[in-house]
Amino acid sequence: MSTFSYAIKMAIILFPIVALIFTIPYIIYQYHKYGSINSYRSIIVYSFLLYLMSAYFLVILPLPSIETVSKMTTPSYNLIPFQFISEIFSLSDFVVSDFATYFPSLQNPVVYESLFNILLTVPFGIYLHYYFQYDFKKTLFYSFCLTLFFELTQLSGLYFIYPRGYRVFDVDDLILNTLGGIIGYFLAYIPIKLLPNRQEIDENSYEKGTKVSILKRFTTFIIDFVIYVLFILCLFFIIPKQPSYWKIIFWGFLILWTFFYYIFLPVILKGKTLGMKFFHLKFVSSKRVTWSRLLSYYFWFVFFYLLLPVMFLFLLYVSYRKEWLVQSVFEYAIIVLGALTLMVYLIALLKRIFNMPLVFEKISHIKMESAIGVRSEENNKNKL
């Protein structure tokens, strides 16, 4: 049992790292598909990820040394089906007609390992039926595929890292693990009756997707910025670096690219950048989204929330360097200005939380809204 607890502990320890890597594509997909991140869906998906990690580690851990495996002479596979049944009766005190032998038999490795192989894939069958909405045939098929993957991992010596398999490829494990998936399929009727179903989760996600959250704005900004920077990097490597004129050409293309991507492209795409189009967002205006309004939108945004605080800090620094201010006054002014800047950012954050327009949106008469409309039933059947 210590082997089982060790594998589960390792899965829990490494889960935050794997979840962090998984989170970025998960957020991108959820915003692209549904326009929001449903907390209940996230609990299901991340718990499923933790389960898969735990199941995989239970199959491969603990890892022996290569020297130990190279000296093994035990059989590396068993192709005789239902051998575990004869072993239970021959190597344990289990008697079907005697209930007194049931509990003591559970302490026998042959018995509890067989039960473990069944229990290993029961959650898998529950997830497939409840969340992914697979029917019995698909659950049976994917449970068998998962089990086959585990057994081939063992047979190949962890994908040929080891000279031979350090655990036995057992056809009984294929049978028992697949049986566990089938049991999980029928147990899934309990959460299906008690918990929100997939359609309800999707409908809630689409409803939330009509609102533009702070995280959705930030994710869209990052995607647009990555596309913007990748093009700049291409320019940097493509343009010949001649000392006389390459910098002028580079900066010229940079300015043109900036105006094209953030100003003219949204006009062409009816109020959307590439990132906004991917996440189903759009710029809207009380009149019409034009290049001049977009230019005003970005200019006042940069001015109020970046240039203005930096400009005041720079002026204070210059005044201090020129000895126009004494040190105590300078330090006091820095504290006051810093507090005012943080207050401005806090007010902007609160306005975003309560979906209130900011100063630059009022001036430019442009704001960002969701472009998500009514979804078809076919779109609702996506499996993540």
pLDDT in 10s for each residue of the chain, 384 residues: 577 888 899 999 999 999 999 999 999 999 999 999 999 999 999 999 999 999 999 999 989 999 999 988 888 888 888 887 777 777 676 666 666 666 666 667 777 788 899 999 999 999 999 999 999 999 999 999 999 999 999 999 999 999 998 888 989 999 999 999 999 999 999 999 999 999 999 999 999 888 898 999 999 999 999 999 999 888 777 777 666 677 788 888 889 999 999 999 999 998 999 999 999 999 999 878 899 999 999 998 888 888 887 887 777 777 666 666 666 666 777 778 778 888 888 888 888 878 788 888 899 999 999 987 544 344 444 545
The one-character DSSP state at 290 is -
Query: Residue 375's pLDDT is what?
Result: 45
Q: Rounded to two decimals, what is the model's pTM?
A: 0.81
The one-character DSSP state at 101 is G
Residues 185 and 330: their CA atoms lie apart, in Å, by 70
Query: Residue 378's pLDDT is what?
Result: 41
Query: Residue 97's pLDDT is what?
Result: 65
Burial annotation 270-289 (CB, 10 A radius, 16+ → b, else e): ebbbbbbbbbbbbbebeeeb
Residues 65 and 177: their CA atoms lie apart, in Å, by 27
Take residue 79 and report the two structure tokens written for it. 């192709």
Query: Residue 81's pLDDT is what?
Result: 86
- CA pseudo-torsion sign 256, 262, 267, 273: positive
Query: Residue 337's pLDDT is what?
Result: 76
Query: Residue 180's pLDDT is what?
Result: 96
Strands 169-170 and 77-78, bridge-based pairing: parallel
Residue 212, Cβ neighbours under 10 Å: how many? 21
Query: Residue 191's pLDDT is what?
Result: 94
β-bridge mates for residue 283, sequence order: 368
Measured CA to CA in angstroms, residue 222 lies from 29, 62, 358 at distances of: 14, 40, 20
Helix residue ranges per DSSP H, the chain:
2-33, 39-60, 66-70, 83-91, 102-105, 109-120, 122-130, 136-155, 157-160, 171-187, 189-194, 198-209, 214-238, 246-259, 265-268, 274-278, 291-302, 308-321, 327-353, 359-364
Residues 181 and 34: their CA atoms lie apart, in Å, by 29
Query: Residue 3's pLDDT is what?
Result: 75
